[in-house]
Amino acid sequence: MTIVHRTINYALRAVNRVITFALPWLPRWMVQPFASPYVAGETVDDAIRHIRALNQQGYSTTLDILGEHVQSREEAQVVTDAYCNLFDRIHTENLDSTVSIKPTHLGLELDKEIAKTNIQKIASKAEKYRNGLTIDMENSPYTDATLDIYKMCVNNYNGVGTVLQSYLFRSIEDVRNFHSQNFHIRICKGIYRESPSIAHQTREDIRDNFIRMVKTSLRGQGFTAIATHDPVLIDTLDNWISDHNISKDRFEFQVLYGVPMGDKLDILKNKGYSVRIYVPFGAAWFDYSIRRLKENPNIIWYVLANLFKR
Active-site positions read: 136, 186
In sequence order, which residues have a C-beta less than 8 Å from that of residue 63 and are 6 or more positions away? Answer: 47, 51, 86, 90, 97, 98, 99, 100, 279, 280, 281
How many angstroms separate the Cα of 270 from the Cα of each of 51, 191, 198, 232, 263? 20, 29, 39, 19, 11
Q: Sort 187 into a burial class: Cβ within 10 Å, 0-12 / 13-18 / 19+.
A: buried
Residue 106 CA to residue 99 CA, distance in Å, equals: 14
CA-CA distances (angstroms) from residue 243 to 95, 237, 247?
33, 10, 11
Q: Which of 166, 141, 84 is nearest to 117 (CA)?
A: 84
Q: Are 272 and 3 contacting, i.e. CB atoms less than 8 angstroms apart?
A: no
d(CA 8, CA 131): 48
Is 159 in contact with 130 (CB distance < 8 Å)?
yes
* Torsion angle defined by CA atoms of residues 138, 105, 122 and 285, in that order, rounded to the nearest 10 degrees: -100
Tell me the pairing of strands 251-256 and 133-135. unpaired
- Continuous H helices in 93-199: 112-128, 143-156, 171-178
C-alpha 205 chain-centroid distance: 20
For residue 240, what are the contacts with CB-CB under 8 A and spacing of at least 6?
A: 211, 215
